[in-house]
A and B are shown apart, each in its own frame.
Chain A
């Protein structure tokens, strides 16, 4: 157990370190720099800017200095939002994205599992066809189309929910639904396939033979095994959702962190980009580790700590 945890932890740090390094050098090798948009800078002024924003020295020197600061939890300055550090920017925006992401995460998992499980028990009936068609449709339409449509229907025509912005919990509902839509579809397809496979197995026949009600067979016996593929998808899903989506945040006018993934590249705001990547990747590896730890606990057939 201890050796397993240690090895997993080491590989986690290695992935994190590699991703940070790759992003750093990709960003520095892209043409253009953060100070190109300034009006003509005299060399001393330019140098002063570079020193202030840690862009002085060779790429390697910048890299090692950055890693050193990173170890102290300092994500560096932002060259776009000059009076703020990346830590401040993320502290302000990430909670917003995380709240929205958490809501979407709940909708996606609960909705997806329920829909997929329900479809599996309706094998060959209209309910299954309808549910799976809807799921495929949700995967085939981009969220920047469903978002405005939902706004049009629920906010403008029916007037039930706010158009956008961030205020009451109700204002989170539409963006969370839009964000969760494709994932509901994906999880329900995953759940259905694996549930159908499990429902054909012997231990299910045993459970039915001893007279258990069908819903108990499905929800208690089959679900335990059938949900394993879903569980292994939850790590990447949560990391994706919690760090924000630029599309949803643009449509619904939400001040989250999703936009940084795109804007920071266009503004050549290196440390801001590396900051969001560090957060995303750390979240991803930690969540994947949690999934790995939870897995053998959920499925006794797997010997994990080998």
Chain B
């Protein structure tokens, strides 16, 4: 997708100025820290120690929690889980939503009507309920299945997998609507008519002609779905239904930290550091999504 001034979308994105560049830098730092950080920290940081509720110091820059575990280590491993859940969940939503929207918009007519009616119905079910029922229904089954499959080491990850699947399964609705709308607009255009009159198959028209024209739009909403999924996971963790100890996500750290706020003895570092990490990341992702929308989304007007 090139514009008249022949700049690539990437160049125009970088030209958008300080906030966008800062967002990219923050995201790069967070991802690198999440992937490599926990390996670089001393091994003792990951262990439970008698040194509980220590305030931030040289030894523990982010302080320690109730089990004497180092908060820096927990925030970084929490970043791994939160980012993994956010990205994987958003990718699932992206695949389902794009495929659904493509088919619905391209098929049109009665099929489109039925498919969009289904989306409307799913919108009307409170999202929390679908999530909770999915978690309740599949968590124990997944655990027994993993244990039976001879991979007991993976059992502790089953909750994360369930969370990713169920969050992906509820976040695709908006993506489907947006893609469908765009397909409806595109399929009346001449290049699609041309492809059809040349006798190309529906599959080829969908994948070769329509999909490439949707890439920009879809990337924008993918970027905006990642923070939405991370936020959803944090709410589930607050309700005690998300990531479970000993594993942690930003959401579960925040949920623990929020309970440690009281006027008598406030362990502020339990809340402040995870909150800062998570809101900075979400802020950067949302910023980037907005900037990408200005650059890539054909429907957003010129600046």
Measured CB to CB, the residues of A under 8 A from B are 14-16, 18-19, 22-23, 26-27, 29-32, 136-137, 139-142, 144-145, 147-149, 151-152, 156-157, 193, 196-197, 200, 236, 243, 246-247, 251, 261-262, 265-266, 273, 276-277, 280-281, 284-285
Question: B149 on the interface (CB 8 Å rule)?
Answer: no
Assess the B286–A148 pair: CB atoms within 8 A: no
Which residues of A sit under 8 angstroms from B126, Cβ to Cβ? Answer: 243, 261, 276-277, 280
Q: Is B53 an interface residue (CB 8 A)?
A: no
Q: Given contacts A26-B133, A31-B137, A152-B261, is CB(A140)–CB(B239) below 8 Å?
A: no
Known: A31-B136, A31-B141, A145-B275. 8 other contacts (CB 8 A): A23-B125, A23-B129, A142-B278, A151-B261, A251-B258, A261-B129, A266-B132, A285-B124
What separation, in Å, do the CA atoms of A284 and B123 have in the docked complex?
Answer: 10
Interface contact A141-B121, CB-CB below 8 Å: no
Cross-interface CB contact of A142 among B117, B121, B235, cutoff 8 Å: B235
Q: CB-CB < 8 A to B275: which residues of A? A: 141, 145
CB atoms of B125 and A30 under 8 A apart: no
Interface residue? B86 (CB, 8 A): no
B231 touches A142 (CB 8 A): yes
Q: Annotate B227-241 by CB proximity to A: 1 below 8 A, 0 otherwise.
A: 100010011001101
Interface residues of B in 260-288 (CB under 8 A from A): 261, 263, 266, 271, 275, 278-279, 282-283, 286-287
A140 / chain B contacts, CB cutoff of 8 Å:
227, 231, 278-279, 282-283, 286
Please give the distance in Å from A183's CB to the nearest CB on chain B. 14
Known: A140-B279, A266-B136, A281-B124. A247 touches B129 (CB 8 A): no
Say if the beta carbon of B200 comes within 8 Å of chain A: no
- Specify which chain B residues have a CB less than 8 angstroms from the CB of A285 in the assembled complex: 124
CB distance B301 to A197 under 8 Å?
A: yes
Q: State which of A19, A145, A152, A196 has its C-beta within 8 Å of the C-beta of B263.
A: A152
- Which residue from A30, A151, A246 sits with its C-beta under 8 Å from B239? A246
Say yes or no: B136 contacts A22, CB within 8 Å.
no
Question: In the docked arrangement, what's the CA distance between A123 and B121, Å?
Answer: 39
What is the interface of chain B, defined by CB distance below 8 A to chain A? 117, 120-121, 123-126, 128-130, 132-133, 136-137, 140-141, 227, 231, 234-235, 238-239, 241, 251, 254-255, 258, 261, 263, 266, 271, 275, 278-279, 282-283, 286-287, 290, 300-301
Chain B residue numbers with a CB within 8 Å of A251 are: 258
Q: How far is the CA of A18 from the CA of B118 in the complex (A)?
A: 9
- Do residues B140 and A31 form an inter-chain contact, with CB atoms below 8 A? yes
* Cα-based distance from A145 to B231 in the complex (angstroms): 12
Give A189's nearest chain B residue, CB to CB. B290
| Chain B contact residues: helix, strand, loop or mixed | helix
Report the tally of A-B residue pairs with Cβ distances under 8 A: 108
Minimum CB–CB distance from B83 to chain A (whole Å) comes to 15
Are the CB atoms of A144 and B125 closer together than 8 Å? no
Minimum distance in angstroms from A15 CB to a CB of chain B: 5
Residues B235 and A136 in contact, CB atoms below 8 Å apart:
no
User: Contacts A136-B283, A261-B128, A280-B126 given: A142-B234 contact, CB under 8 Å?
Assistant: yes
CB–CB B133/A27 < 8 A: yes
Expressed in whole angstroms, the minimum distance between the Cβ of A303 and any Cβ of chain B is 19
Residues of A within 8 A of B258 (CB): 144-145, 147-148, 251
Q: Check A19 against B136 for contact (C-beta < 8 Å).
A: no
Contacting residues, chain B, for A151 (C-beta < 8 A): 261
Q: Are A142's CB and B286's CB within 8 A?
A: no
Complex Cα gap A25–B143 (Å): 23
| Chain B residue contacts of A157, Cβ below 8 A | 263
Residues from chain B with Cβ under 8 Å of A22 in the complex: 121, 125
User: Which chain A residue lies CB-closest to B118?
Assistant: A18
- Which of A15, A144, A243 is in CB contact (< 8 Å) with B255? A144
Q: Which residue of B lies closest to A193 (CB)?
A: B300
Whole-angstrom distance between the Cβ of B206 and the nearest chain A Cβ: 28
CA distance A285 to B130 in the complex (A): 19
